[in-house]
């Protein structure tokens, strides 16, 4: 019996843009305050319609084994039934900002 692998949709802020990517593995990193993302999923090359933002993401993450995303940049992580189209959208006009969190707990 084959094991069904989970698919995660990760939304995060980077360079003033909202990145939406899909991956098979997401977990807390050993590096404090980072989320580790592995096995990125992109659309099939056989698709007739090519999305420029997905192509940009493919190029940006080409050869990346795993990515460490700062926890404060993460907007949302969802476990989904299947992958969608990875994309980059502009955050201008959106009321989105990184949540300021201390890296270390305050001293008492």
pTM of the model: 0.75
* DSSP secondary structure letters along 85-104: --EEEE-TTS--------SS
φ/ψ of 67, rounded to 5, equals: -125, 140
Indicate the range of 5-9, 11-15, 44-48 predicted with least confidence: 44-48
Q: Output phi, psi for 107, to 5 deg.
A: -75, 145
Q: What is the pLDDT of residues 19-56, one digit of tens each?
A: 999 999 999 999 999 999 999 988 765 455 566 777 88
pLDDT for 49-90, tens place per residue? Answer: 566 777 888 888 888 899 999 999 999 999 999 888 888 888
């Amino acid at each position: 019996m084959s094991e069904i692998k989970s698919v995660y949709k990760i939304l995060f802020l980077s360079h003033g843009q909202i990145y939406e990517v899909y991956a098979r593995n997401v977990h807390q990193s050993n590096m404090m305050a980072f989320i580790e993302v592995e096995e990125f999923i992109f659309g099939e090359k056989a698709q007739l319609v090519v999305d420029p933002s997905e192509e940009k993401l493919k190029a940006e993450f080409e050869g990346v084994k795993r990515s460490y995303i700062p926890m404060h940049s993460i907007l949302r992580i969802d476990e989904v039934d299947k992958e969608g189209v990875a994309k980059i959208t502009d955050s201008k006009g959106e009321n989105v900002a990184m949540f300021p969190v201390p890296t270390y707990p305050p001293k008492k």
